[in-house]
């Protein structure tokens, strides 16, 4: 901490989550550039973990363990894709991201067609590999943890919860991007629903917003060929529900 | 049963690696190892067993969904879970949304607290340090840590200057670190 004493006490408050306003902003700016203070912050959090040890004693009831085990057994891996570190993703999902997703779907389709036609043809295979590589690059950009995603809206528009669904029914391929989503109540999560032209709403993936309110769902299990009338979002138990619990907190426009 | 017993002796890093592959049993072992400290700190903050259970569930579900958020190269799992649970409990107490991505929380501390005996020794030592701390300092630290009060709020409550409160909170944390320094 030598040379950084002016930040020492604020760092302790920051670690505890007690520093607000200008002091917090100034310290966060300093932390971006100061490895020494970042290490001290990590040590202060270590001190906090020791303080937690003073509370040791009460054990959680057995039902808490069963609740967790049941929840993870019911939650298929891969249906939830947490989004990390997207400080610029503060507004609505960008048209750029949407375009990249559509391009990815296009290349995926094109690759499938080429795969049928290119049997034994080296030149076609080379073409296919190039297309696949480009598709992967698009998907890699879409899902990169350090991707900077920005949406421009009319000036002075207050942030609103936004979701964007890209759905290709014949392939049952769905990409959902959301931003400005508030944290759900404890032990709850958001669930996306596909409302078909006929029949009951279909679960289309669980998601939790990250610290910046962003989330995404990619290709949840859906039957191919389902024509969608609308999409909706509800708040459900973390393990998900088979039928939506009212109210629908978000709904596709025009539905 | 042999494999179960074997997995129970795995390191946190190995268990987190198994969780990345969707191993539910590894998750159960980590729960058995660290649910106590995560629950007890949440209970102390919230004073309500149901709310503390909700925090416990949320913290471990976050680990299940995003095991990559824990960077084993930069700290130990037990202290990390304790800090995540405390922070989430404070968020609930103060009725605010989480301000920090769990993947951004890096915790550096001497004891790794992986063994039950280590945790028991750490508990005794921390309680001893707190008992020997000047009461005003301990009180300021506990108000900030367990009640999520800002230094401004503590200053208003105690009538002491802001600078004094800041100093006491930091000195309190450093006293804990010193007790564990090798």
Sequence spans of domains, chain A: 5-53, 95-148
Q: What is the 3-state secondary structure (H, E, C) of A56-109?
A: CCCCCCHHHHHHHHHHHHHCCCCCCECCCCCCCCCCCCCHHHHHHHHHHHHHHH
* In a shared domain, residues B182 and B151: yes
CB contact under 8 A, B150 and A60: no
* pLDDT above 80 for B15: yes
* pLDDT above 70 for B22: yes
For position B143, which CATH number holds? 1.10.10.10
Give the separation between CA A55 and CA B37, rounded to whole angstroms: 7
* pLDDT above 60 for A80: no
CB contact under 8 A, B40 and A56: yes
State the total domains in chain B. 2
B87 to chain A: which residues are within 8 Å by CB?
17
The per-residue pLDDT for A238 is: 84
CA-nearest residue of chain A to B145?
A16
| Residues present in chain B in total | 182
CB contact under 8 A, A52 and B101: no
Q: Taking the CB of residue B97, how many other CB atoms lie within 10 A of it?
A: 12
Ranges A30-44, A121-135, B37-51: which has the least confidence: A121-135
For A179-211, how does the pLDDT look when each residue is reduced to its tens digit (9 = 90+)?
A: 888 889 988 999 999 999 988 999 999 988 887
Contact by Cβ (8 Å): B179, B125: yes
Q: Domain limits at B62?
A: 1-112
Q: Which region, left, alpha or beta, applies to residue A188 given φ > 0 means left and ψ of -120 to 50 means alpha? A: beta
Assign B177 a pLDDT band (cuts: 50, 70, 90). Answer: very high
Most confident of the following: A223-237, B75-89, B131-145: B131-145
| Phi and psi torsions of A222, nearest 5° | -140, 145
* In a shared domain, residues B102 and B131: no
Q: Taking the CB of residue A58, how many other CB atoms lie within 10 A of it?
A: 15
Greater confidence, A68 or B181?
Answer: A68
Average pLDDT over residues A54-65: 90
Ranges A58-62, B8-12, B79-83: which has the least confidence: B8-12
Angle of the B162-180 helix axis to the A5-15 helix axis, nearest 10: 80
CB contact under 8 A, A43 and B110: no
A77 to chain B: which residues are within 8 Å by CB?
22
> Which value does ipTM take for this structure?
0.87
Q: Which residue among B80, B112, B144 closes a domain?
A: B112
* In a shared domain, residues B119 and B107: no
* In a shared domain, residues B126 and B101: no
Assign B10 a pLDDT band (cuts: 50, 70, 90). Answer: confident
Contact by Cβ (8 Å): A93, A217: no
Cβ pairs A/B, distance under 8 A: 209
* In a shared domain, residues B143 and B77: no
For B66-107, how does the pLDDT look when each residue is reduced to its tens digit (9 = 90+)?
A: 888 887 766 788 889 999 999 999 999 988 777 667 777 777
Residue of A25, A44, A51, A143 to mutate, interface with B, max B Cβ within 10 Å = A51
Average pLDDT over residues B103-120: 77
Assign B47 a pLDDT band (cuts: 50, 70, 90). Answer: very high
Q: Looking at the whole model, is its pTM more than 0.90?
A: no
* In a shared domain, residues B127 and B57: no
**Whole-number mean pLDDT of chain B?**
87
CB contact under 8 A, B107 and A8: no
Quick check: B36 contacting A, CB < 8 Å? Answer: yes
* pLDDT above 70 for A114: no
* In a shared domain, residues B7 and B83: yes
CA-nearest residue of chain A to B21?
A77
CA-nearest residue of chain B to A70?
B24
Ranges A55-59, B38-42, B97-101, B127-131: which has the least confidence: B97-101
CA-nearest residue of chain B to A80?
B65
Closest CA to A232 of A187, A192, A183: A192
A63 to chain B: which residues are within 8 Å by CB?
53
Give the separation between CA B154 and CA B135, rounded to whole angstroms: 14
* In a shared domain, residues B136 and B80: no
* pLDDT above 60 for A81: no
* In a shared domain, residues B100 and B18: yes
The per-residue pLDDT for A53 is: 86
Assign A83 a pLDDT band (cuts: 50, 70, 90). Answer: very low
Greater confidence, A29 or A89?
Answer: A29
Quick check: B106 contacting A, CB < 8 Å? Answer: yes
Greater confidence, A154 or B51?
Answer: B51
The per-residue pLDDT for A2 is: 42
Q: Which residue among B88, B112, B136 closes a domain?
A: B112
The per-residue pLDDT for A162 is: 87
Percent residues over pLDDT 70 in chain A:
67
Quick check: B139 contacting A, CB < 8 Å? Answer: no
Assign B2 a pLDDT band (cuts: 50, 70, 90). Answer: very low
Assign B36 a pLDDT band (cuts: 50, 70, 90). Answer: very high
Nearest neighbour of B61 by CB, restricted to A16, A18, A238: A238
CB contact under 8 A, B53 and A67: yes
B151 to chain A: which residues are within 8 Å by CB?
13, 18
The per-residue pLDDT for B119 is: 83
Average pLDDT over residues B36-63: 94
Q: Which residue among B84, B112, B140 closes a domain?
A: B112
In the 8-state DSSP scheme, what is residue B112?
-
Q: Which residues of A163-176 are buried (b: 16+ CB within 10 A; e: fewer)?
A: bbbbbebeebbbbb
A62 to chain B: which residues are within 8 Å by CB?
none
* In a shared domain, residues B86 and B149: no
The per-residue pLDDT for A107 is: 67
Greater confidence, A92 or A62?
Answer: A62
For position B102, which CATH number holds? 1.10.1740.10
Assign A97 a pLDDT band (cuts: 50, 70, 90). Answer: low
* In a shared domain, residues B78 and B145: no
The per-residue pLDDT for A126 is: 62
* In a shared domain, residues B132 and B88: no
């Amino acid at each position: 901490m030598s040379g950084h004493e002016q930040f020492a006490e604020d760092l302790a408050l920051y670690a505890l989550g007690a520093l607000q306003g200008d002091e917090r902003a100034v310290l966060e700016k300093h932390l971006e550039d100061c490895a020494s203070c970042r290490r001290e912050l990590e040590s202060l959090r270590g001190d906090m973990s020791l303080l937690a040890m003073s509370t040791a004693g009460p054990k959680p009831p057995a039902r808490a363990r069963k609740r967790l085990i049941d929840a993870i057994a019911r939650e298929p891996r891969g249906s939830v894709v947490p989004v990390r570190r997207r400080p610029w993703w503060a507004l609505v999902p960008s048209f750029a991201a949407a375009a990249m997703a559509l391009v990815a779907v296009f290349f995926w389709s094109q690759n499938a067609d080429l795969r049928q036609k290119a049997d034994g043809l080296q030149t076609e295979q080379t073409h296919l590999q190039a297309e696949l590589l480009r598709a992967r690059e698009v998907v890699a950009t879409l899902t990169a943890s350090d991707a900077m995603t920005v949406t421009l809206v009319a000036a002075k528009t207050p942030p609103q919860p936004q979701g964007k669904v890209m759905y290709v029914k014949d392939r049952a391929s769905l990409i959902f991007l959301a931003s400005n989503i508030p944290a759900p109540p404890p032990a709850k999560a958001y669930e996306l629903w596909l409302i078909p032209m006929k029949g009951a709403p279909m679960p289309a993936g669980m998601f939790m917003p990250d610290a910046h309110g962003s989330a995404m769902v990619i290709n949840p299990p859906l039957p191919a060929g389902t024509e969608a009338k609308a999409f909706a979002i509800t708040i459900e138990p973390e393990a998900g529900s088979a039928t939506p619990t009212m109210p629908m907190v978000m709904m596709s426009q025009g539905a | 049963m042999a494999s179960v017993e074997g997995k129970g002796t795995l390191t946190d890093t190995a268990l987190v690696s198994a969780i990345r592959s969707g191993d539910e049993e590894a998750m159960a072992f980590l729960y058995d190892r660290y649910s106590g400290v995560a629950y007890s700190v949440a209970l102390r903050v919230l004073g309500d067993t149901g709310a503390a259970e909700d925090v416990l569930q949320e913290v471990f579900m976050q680990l299940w969904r995003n095991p990559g958020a824990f960077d084993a190269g930069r700290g130990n799992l037990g202290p990390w879970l304790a800090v995540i649970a405390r922070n989430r409990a404070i968020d609930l107490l103060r009725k605010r949304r989480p301000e920090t991505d769990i993947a951004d929380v890096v915790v550096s501390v001497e004891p790794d607290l992986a063994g039950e005996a280590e945790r028991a020794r750490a508990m005794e030592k921390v309680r001893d340090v707190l008992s020997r701390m000047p009461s005003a300092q301990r009180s300021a630290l506990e108000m900030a840590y367990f009640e999520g009060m800002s230094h401004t709020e503590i200053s208003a409550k105690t009538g002491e200057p802001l600078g004094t409160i800041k100093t006491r909170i930091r000195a309190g944390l450093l006293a804990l670190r010193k007790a564990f320094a090798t």
